[in-house]
Structure 1
């Protein structure tokens, strides 16, 4: 029975961020079809930030109308919306509408908002429910959260989404000179996209299946004995007192305040004894909060908005590998943090500088688009992929460290962690959206027909 409950907790955890993680790893294929093209990541980034109205609503309702929202009902609604949105996205993702004379993938963007709403709201609903069960199952839940990023990335690797090659295409043209018309053959390089091993429809149906598994897992988990129910039965036989959502929502904030990392911010897990309280000076706390805001702006707002401009000039294969491997870097960094936790402020500052350096390189390549450094070089391809993976990994580990440090300080310190993480993410997204979509500061071009300086032009 305990093994079954662990499996259910893990399956429940995979539904927390699987939909949005699935969108990100599928972006290399989506940008080749949807009219937003290279601007699509910036749209997804700003939509995810808009979806934070979900957890904000739940938190405000809990604060001002305590007891009105019940966690079981809220989770049923949230996960059901996720299943329906994923299913609709499977069939409507490539439908477009014309607005102001331009084609836009309105159906995709609207459904992306609902998926983001589901995943953002899971941060303040899933964990409060799990805290009602035996403590050992919460650790398993966080393993499932890590898999919510890893599984879509593995599926996308198997799919081979967005991979292309350059091919010489010949055209017959008629050239008129005076009274003569001469037929001439013109050859030029064009991008030809290789068919993925399975379609986007199948990919999103797999995401739908994972959300459905999450719903079924919750159905059975909600029928497991609750920790507080058991304690009440032992103290007062025959009088069962159920947990209410408002009693434990604040406790949830201690471990899952936002998307920053798909794992527990306390590597020891919820079931362990809380670490000894450590007091930090106001200066040290300000330093930590500044780093949290900065790192959140980079990882959740600034860099994701320009990932296509940073990677696509190196080819769709490079973009595909970057999107999938960097998605894997998040849960892997959480695993490293679980086994090698650190409370060193010096190491936190060093990792922030290192991650910022990798992010600066990625941003520089986006600014130089469509002709970045080392284009058409295997070194260039390897460096941009490695830079994105290290950018994600180092800054994810840094945020886990911050969570560990602040948890040992006080619960209110973690509340500020969540607020500043969301603030940084929002500021980063708001900064980049107009730069990408209104002022068009970043340039895109077809990979195979780029006109770049000598020595960096694509070859057939």
Structure 2
């Protein structure tokens, strides 16, 4: 029975960020189909920020009308919305409408908003529900939360990417000095992946159904079925780690009720680090929180297409999928090899910033970045995105652990700083990408770059 509860807790946790992480790893296959093209990620970062209205409303209702919202009813609602939205996405992701004399992916954007609403709201509903279970099952829930980024990344790798080939096509007849001739041009054609985006979105719907079924089973299991042994979480495991290019939006490590209750239950555990910091140290910690979330959830995701697509679809596909896998891997590393040294976290933040700066520089040089035609350039940009994601994820997890041990209010301010950084990053990049057009897209076959 204990094994069954562990499996159900992990399956329930997978539903927390599955949909949004799935969208990000699928972008390399749909960015060439939807009319926004390379600007598509910048739209998604803003849409996900708007979806934070969900947890805001839930929090306000708990404050203004305590007991009015039933926790189980809210979870049933958001998981059901998640299943329906994934199903609709599989059928309507290609549908466009004309807005402002230009076609836009209105169906994709609307469905993405509801998927983001589900995942953002899960941060303030799933964890309080899990707080009613013994601590060892909460550990399993966090493993499932990490799998919500890991599993879509693996499926995307299995899906493969439509490799590009350049085909000569004949244009309209033109009149030139030698007479009438045919104008030849190269056209980029993408080979189909191993399975279509529709199948991938159907897989996301199935996984959301699994999460919903797991929640129903957890609700129906009698309390006597739970093993009430006095197992407790180690401090490093009790901090929720973000998942997936995670959500470029609400971070689930921003001070959940579960974390505070777990802290109260584990008073008998030794304190592993001094939680008393000077004003300057706290200022540095919160600066790291703002900067890491600004870069990882707003600035860089908005231009990932521009930094990767000039190297080909394969580069974008691998950077998106492997970054999604690297995120939970970095969280696991933080769990088993924690380092609370502010100096170490600062150095790691500088390294992550260096990788992010390289990614941003390649986006600024688009469509002719460094080593564009070399396999070395492709390998460097993919590894740079993976290390950027992994380094910043480790920093976010360890800062969450440090602030959790300090106080409840410290975690609250951590969540606020996370949201501030994500919001500023996404709002800053949107006009730069879509209004001022500071980043240039190119064509794989027809863009001529100097050697």
Taking structure 1 as the reference length, what is the TM-score of the superposition? 0.88
Per-residue CA distance 1:66-92 (angstroms, 9 max, x = gap): 111111011001101111111111100
CA contact (8 A) 2:82 2:208 kept: yes
The residue matched to 1:408 in structure 2 has which SS?
helix
1:374 pairs with 2:366: no
The residue matched to 2:170 in structure 1 has which SS?
strand
Match of 2:200 in 1: 203
CA contact (8 A) 2:304 2:363 kept: yes
**C-alpha separation in 1, matches of 2:369 and 2:220:** 56
**C-alpha separation in 1, matches of 2:221 and 2:240:** 22
**C-alpha separation in 2, matches of 1:78 and 1:172:** 51
Match of 1:92 in 2: 92
Match of 1:164 in 2: 163
Match of 1:236 in 2: none
Match of 2:245 in 1: none
CA contact (8 A) 2:288 2:349 kept: yes
Match of 2:441 in 1: 444
CA contact (8 A) 2:251 2:415 kept: no
1:400 pairs with 2:397: yes
CA contact (8 A) 1:260 1:396 kept: no
**C-alpha separation in 1, matches of 2:210 and 2:442:** 41
**C-alpha separation in 2, matches of 1:138 and 1:93:** 35
**What RMSD, in angstroms, separates the aligned Cα atoms of the two structures?**
2.5
1:259 pairs with 2:258: no
**1:410 shift after superposition:** 1.1
Match of 2:233 in 1: none
**C-alpha separation in 1, matches of 2:426 and 2:171:** 47
**C-alpha separation in 2, matches of 1:358 and 1:427:** 20
Describe the shift of the 1:275–1:323 C-alpha distance in structure 2 as closer, same or farther (beyond 3 A). farther
Give unmatched runs, 5+ long, in structure 1: 232-252, 456-460
CA contact (8 A) 2:355 2:388 kept: yes
Match of 2:121 in 1: 121
**C-alpha separation in 1, matches of 2:252 and 2:313:** 27
Q: Aligned runs of 1:321-336 on 2, under 5 Å?
A: 321-336=318-333
Match of 1:424 in 2: 421
How many correspondences in the alignment? 427
**C-alpha separation in 2, matches of 1:230 and 1:361:** 50
Describe the shift of the 1:344–1:225 C-alpha distance in structure 2 as closer, same or farther (beyond 3 A). farther
**1:157 shift after superposition:** 0.8
Describe the shift of the 1:382–1:141 C-alpha distance in structure 2 as closer, same or farther (beyond 3 A). same
Taking structure 2 as the reference length, what is the TM-score of the superposition? 0.90
The residue matched to 1:325 in structure 2 has which SS?
helix
CA contact (8 A) 1:172 1:183 kept: no
**1:189 shift after superposition:** 3.0
